[in-house]
């Protein structure tokens, strides 16, 4: 039985490890329901959850990432008041911090569609449509995940990344997700080779629009796009 209902929770500003532990708890709970259903021939519905949050300064390295893409040593991390974690998502290194909207969908894709490629494109599309709501034209770059802005010759700006993505999926249950730079401190990206990409810049909604945005408002727009794309029912 497919369950299209979703519970959405705003965790506010939360330590990365605390949010990661919470994700793991939700993820494991859903996986256990699926295993029990299969073993005992049951049809208990699996839950869907989307977490919205921000993190204090932190750098995270995915399974396919390289340690040398972090350009700070332990002393440098302390000076920046930042933490560093090696984590179990895909992708390379990225930064999270205040002013960045982080979204963690813990979904059972059996409730929607069993296609990870499609899932990633839907996450990207939710961001693209959210940005369009604010008058920012964004899209994709071949060979890279995430959401990008095209070259702007009038402002002498090349292609630049505004949203990073990295997910984990097992038994069609997802965790981790996306990070949209709303009002993020972009100087913090200077301490990494962001997503392992050396020749492209990083930007934010604030930098593109020249004004600070209400991150809670952006979260509500994003929430609506995700619900619409996945044809969810909010509970």
Residue 157 DSSP one-character state: B
Residue 16: strand, helix, or coil? helix
95 assigned ligand-binding residue: yes
139 assigned ligand-binding residue: no
146 assigned ligand-binding residue: no
CA distance linking residue 67 with residue 91, whole number of Å = 12
194 assigned ligand-binding residue: no
90 assigned ligand-binding residue: yes
166 assigned ligand-binding residue: yes
End-to-end CA distance of the chain: 18
- Is 195 considered catalytic here? yes
91 assigned ligand-binding residue: yes
196 assigned ligand-binding residue: no
CB within 8 Å of 166: residues ≥ 6 apart = 62, 89, 90, 91, 94, 145, 176, 177
Judge whether 98 and 216 are in contact, CB under 8 Å: no
8 assigned ligand-binding residue: no
Taking each helix axis as running N to C, give the angle between helix 116-133 and helix 215-230, from 0 to 180 degrees, rounded to the nearest 10. Answer: 140
CA distance linking residue 11 with residue 14, whole number of Å = 6
Q: Given the residues 182, 188, 195, 218, select the one marked as catalytic.
A: 195
164 assigned ligand-binding residue: yes
Cα dihedral 87/88/90/93 (nearest 10): 10
Which active-site residues does the annotation give?
195
Q: Which residues are annotated as a binding site for substrate?
A: 89-96, 164-166, 177-179
């Amino acid at each position: 039985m497919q369950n299209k209902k979703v519970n959405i929770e705003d965790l506010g500003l939360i330590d990365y490890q605390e949010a990661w532990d919470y994700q793991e708890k939700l993820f494991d709970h859903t996986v256990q329901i699926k295993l029990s259903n299969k073993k005992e021939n049951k049809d208990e519905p699996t839950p869907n959850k989307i977490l919205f949050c921000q993190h204090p300064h932190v750098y995270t390295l995915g399974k396919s990432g390289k340690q040398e893409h972090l350009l700070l040593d332990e002393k440098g991390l302390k000076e920046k008041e930042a933490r560093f974690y090696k984590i179990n998502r895909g992708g390379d290194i990225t930064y999270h911090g205040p002013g960045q909207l982080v979204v963690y969908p813990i979904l059972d894709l059996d409730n929607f569609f069993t296609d990870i490629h499609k899932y990633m494109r839907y996450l990207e599309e939710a961001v693209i449509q959210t940005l369009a709501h604010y008058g920012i034209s964004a899209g994709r770059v071949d060979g890279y995940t995430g959401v990008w802005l095209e070259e702007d010759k009038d402002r002498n700006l090349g292609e630049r990344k505004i949203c990073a993505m990295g997910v984990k999926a097992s038994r069609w249950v997802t965790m981790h997700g996306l990070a949209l730079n709303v009002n993020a401190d972009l100087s913090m990206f200077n301490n990494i080779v962001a997503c392992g990409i050396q020749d492209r810049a990083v930007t934010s909604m604030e930098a593109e629009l020249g004004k600070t945005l209400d991150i809670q408002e952006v979260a509500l727009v994003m929430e609506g796009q995700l619900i619409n794309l996945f044809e969810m029912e909010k509970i």
